[in-house]
Each structure stands twice: as C-alpha cells, then as structure tokens.
C-alpha cells in the first residue's frame, strides 16, 4: 500500500512534461511502519478524443492509477454503448499504435490528466466464430458433393457413389482435415487477438467455401478420372498427407505449450522431443510448411487442377504470413536463430 502511494506521487513531478517511465514492479525494500493515515492515492483524469476530428468524446475522472486500458475501454463503452471494447482502438497519438488492453495507466507517459485518441475499428467478430464458420463450410459442402445431392450433377447420378476408391479416400482425408481444424480451433489454439473486423468473415468464407465447392465438384464428378499412376501415386500421396497432418498438429501443440493459458506472451519456439517439431531448426512457421505439404499430398492424390490452384493460392497467402511472422520474430528477439527461413528451409 505504501509503495502504491509512493508511485502515485511520482506522476506529479512528471507534469512539467518530462517523460517518466516507471521501472516495473516496485522494489519492496524496508517497509516503514505503516502510516495509518490516509494513503495519498492520486486519481487520474482521462479524456478521450476522436483521433480524426479531435472532438472530446468522453471525460473520466477519478480513474485509479493502476487501471488498465481494458478497464478504461469498459468505462468508455458505458458512455458510448455502440462502441464495445473490442472495436475501440485507444492510442497516445492520433497516428500512433494502438495501446494494449494490459497497459497500466500510470505506467504510460501521461500526466495525471491523460489524453487518449480513439479510433473505431468497425464491427468486430471473434476469431473463434470466424474459424468455426469458415471451416464448417468446406466440411459440409464437400460432403454434399460426395453424396451427390440433387441439382449438382445430372439427375441419374443423384445419391449414387463413385466407383473409384480414391474418391472415397479423398473424402475421408478432406473431412479429416477440416474436423481436425475445427477441433484445434476449439481446444488447441490460443489466440493473441480476440476479434477481427466483421467483413473478414465474408471474405474468408467466400474463399474457403468457394474453393471447396470447386474442388469437390470435380473430384466427386461421375466423369472423374483417377490418377495416372494409380495405386503407387495414391499411396505416396496419402503418406505425404498423413505425415504433414501429424506434423501440422504437432506444431500447433508445441505453439500452444509456449503460451500459458490466458496469457498473450510471445516466445521463440524450439524443437521438442517430438521429431515432427525438429523442423523448427530450419523454419519459423512450420505449421504453414506442413499445411502446404498436406495440400500437395491431396493434389497428388486427386490429380485435380482446382486442388492444385487452391494449394497454390494458399501457399502464396501463407508465405506472406510466414514472412511477416519471421520479420516480427527477428524484431522482437535479438537472439533469434539465424538458420531459420520463414516457410521453406533455405529457400523462402
């Protein structure tokens, strides 16, 4: 309690404009015998301005010095109910970076009257919702084509099954892949952000659902042609596919274990006892590497051009993401291993 009072007095010195960044948690040195008198807690005043128009949107007085940005967002939400905390971007500078929900008010370079700028991020939707929707679609859509639901193919083929066993295998692999993704979304992944802009769900679903329909139409078509090299090709493709599915899952588990539940810490991932994670020695984002491998396997298995197109587009997108992730690893960690490439060992 005393240390809190000590900290609270310091910001007064900062009012003449000097930046006072308090050094981390206070050192509890010798505790003086408790001053039984009132603890001098200096409350902050917070004013929130619109980042574009600089209009005063909200004024909060009597804000606790140890209030977090998250709590301030909740208070702001009360006066402006249409802007729920997830769609608020609070920053120190109108053109600056967004402050994090965990940032504590008194640790920020502000005086006792803090001025923040607000930007509306637009309607938000949770990552979990987006992932579940975009993955459930392909699962169901592919099955509709597999079972040859009416109005897709010529009526005489309605509800028939393909005579090629590779088509059944492909259905199992595709369905397994998306069931795995759904389960990972529910039980494995730990998301850094809670939400994303609402329009993303339309964009993402169009991509996943559209490609799923396009692929499934040809693979389950009555005039489907099985792979040129027959059983050899299919067996190789299945091996690659399963290997990469296990690999992808191993990486997801390894990344999950890096982060304690409920936290948003970031650490460098390293190889574990699981051999599928040894690829961390060479690659920053092996989950994308394995994902590419899975889809290459599926392309080989089905020998279908739309699948190849989907693999290619996915590869391009994942490369962009991997390069970004690799760059932020390099920026954040001085001792980041230099042997690693973003997505393809030594190549990309």
Partner 1 sequence: MASGEEDGTVEEKETNNKKRTKGAIATAWLTFYNIAMTAGWLVLAVAMVRYYLQKGTHKGLYRNIARTLKFFQTFALLEVGHCAIGIVRTSVIVTGVQVCSRIFMVWFVTNSIRQNEESVILFVVVWTITEITRYSFYTFNLLNHLPYFIKWARYNMFIVMYPLGVIGELLTIHASLPYVRRSGMYSLRLPNKYNVSFDYYYFLIIVMLSYIPLFPQLYFHMLRQRRRVLHGEIVVEKDE
Q: Which residues bind partner 1 (CB under 8 A)?
A: 218-219, 221, 223-225, 228, 302-306
**Do the Cβ atoms of 10 and 72 come closer than 8 Å?**
no
Taking the least distance from each CB to partner 1, the nearer of 85 and 226 is 226
Taking the least distance from each CB to partner 1, the nearer of 43 and 218 is 218
Taking the least distance from each CB to partner 1, the nearer of 192 and 228 is 228
Q: Give min distance, CB of 3 to partner 1, in A.
A: 50
Measured between alpha carbons, how far is 172 from 180 in angstroms, rounded to an integer? 12
Q: Is 96 exposed, middle or buried (0-12, 13-18, 19+ CB in 10 A)?
A: exposed
Q: Give min distance, CB of 145 to partner 1, in A.
A: 13
Taking the least distance from each CB to partner 1, the nearer of 250 and 302 is 302
- How far is CA 292 from each of CA 17, 203, 248, 323, 335, rounded to the nearest angstrom? 53, 21, 10, 15, 28
Taking the least distance from each CB to partner 1, the nearer of 100 and 168 is 168
Taking the least distance from each CB to partner 1, the nearer of 258 and 308 is 308
Q: Give min distance, CB of 21 to partner 1, in A.
A: 35
Q: Give min distance, CB of 153 to partner 1, in A.
A: 11
Taking the least distance from each CB to partner 1, the nearer of 57 and 301 is 301
Cα dihedral sign for 201, 291, 180, 252?
Answer: negative
Taking the least distance from each CB to partner 1, the nearer of 113 and 225 is 225
Taking the least distance from each CB to partner 1, the nearer of 224 and 241 is 224
Q: Give min distance, CB of 173 to partner 1, in A.
A: 16
Q: Give min distance, CB of 227 to partner 1, in A.
A: 9
* 3-class secondary structure, 68: strand
Q: Give min distance, CB of 230 to partner 1, in A.
A: 12
Q: Give min distance, CB of 212 to partner 1, in A.
A: 15
Measured between alpha carbons, how far is 113 from 15 in angstroms, rounded to an integer? 9
DSSP assignment letter at 258: H
Q: Give min distance, CB of 217 to partner 1, in A.
A: 9
Taking the least distance from each CB to partner 1, the nearer of 269 and 306 is 306
For residue 2, how many C-alpha atoms fall within 13 Å in the half-sphere facing its CB? 11
If we measure between CA atoms, which residue out of 308, 180, 310, 182 comes closest to residue 245?
180
**Do the Cβ atoms of 108 and 78 come closer than 8 Å?**
no
Q: Is 307 exposed, middle or buried (0-12, 13-18, 19+ CB in 10 A)?
A: buried
Measured between alpha carbons, how far is 105 from 11 in angstroms, rounded to an integer? 11
Q: How many residues appear in the chain?
A: 348
Measured between alpha carbons, how far is 67 from 71 in angstroms, rounded to an integer? 6
Measured between alpha carbons, how far is 253 from 261 in angstroms, rounded to an integer? 13
Cα dihedral sign for 228, 229, 230, 233?
Answer: negative
Residue 67 structure tokens: 């209030």
Q: Give min distance, CB of 169 to partner 1, in A.
A: 15
């Amino acid at each position: 309690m005393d240390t809190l009072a000590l900290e609270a007095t310091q910001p007064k010195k900062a009012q003449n404009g000097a930046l006072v960044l308090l050094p981390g948690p206070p050192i509890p040195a010798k505790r003086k015998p408790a001053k039984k008198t009132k603890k001098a807690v200096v409350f902050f005043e917070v004013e929130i301005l619109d980042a574009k128009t600089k209009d005063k949107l909200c004024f909060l007085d009597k804000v606790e010095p140890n209030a977090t940005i998250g709590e301030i967002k909740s208070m702001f939400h009360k006066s402006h109910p249409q802007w729920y905390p997830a769609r608020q971007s609070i920053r120190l500078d109108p053109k600056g970076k967004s402050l994090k929900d965990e940032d504590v008010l008194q640790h920020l370079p502000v005086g006792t009257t803090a001025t923040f700028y607000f930007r509306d991020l637009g309607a938000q939707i949770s990552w979990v919702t987006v992932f579940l929707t975009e993955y459930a679609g392909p699962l169901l859509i592919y099955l509709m084509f597999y079972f040859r639901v009416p109005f897709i193919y010529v009526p005489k083929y309605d509800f028939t099954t393909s005579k090629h066993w590779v088509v059944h295998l492909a259905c199992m692999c595709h369905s397994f892949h998306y069931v795995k993704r759904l389960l990972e979304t529910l039980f494995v992944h730990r998301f850094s952000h809670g939400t994303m802009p609402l329009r993303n769900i339309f964009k993402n679903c169009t991509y996943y659902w559209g490609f799923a329909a396009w692929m499934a139409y040809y693979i389950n078509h009555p005039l489907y042609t099985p792979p040129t090299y027959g059983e050899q090709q299919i067996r190789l493709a299945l091996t690659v596919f399963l290997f990469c599915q296990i690999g992808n899952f191993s990486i997801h588990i390894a990344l999950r274990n890096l982060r304690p539940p409920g936290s948003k810490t970031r650490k460098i991932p390293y190889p574990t006892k699981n051999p599928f994670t040894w690829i961390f020695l060479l690659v920053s984002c092996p989950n994308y590497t394995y994902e590419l491998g899975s889809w290459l396997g599926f392309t080989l298995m089905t020998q279908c051009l739309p699948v190849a197109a989907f693999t290619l587009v996915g590869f391009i997108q994942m490369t962009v993401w991997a390069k970004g992730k690799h760059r932020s690893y390099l920026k954040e960690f001085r001792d980041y291993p230099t042997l690693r490439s973003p997505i393809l060992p030594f190549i990309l």
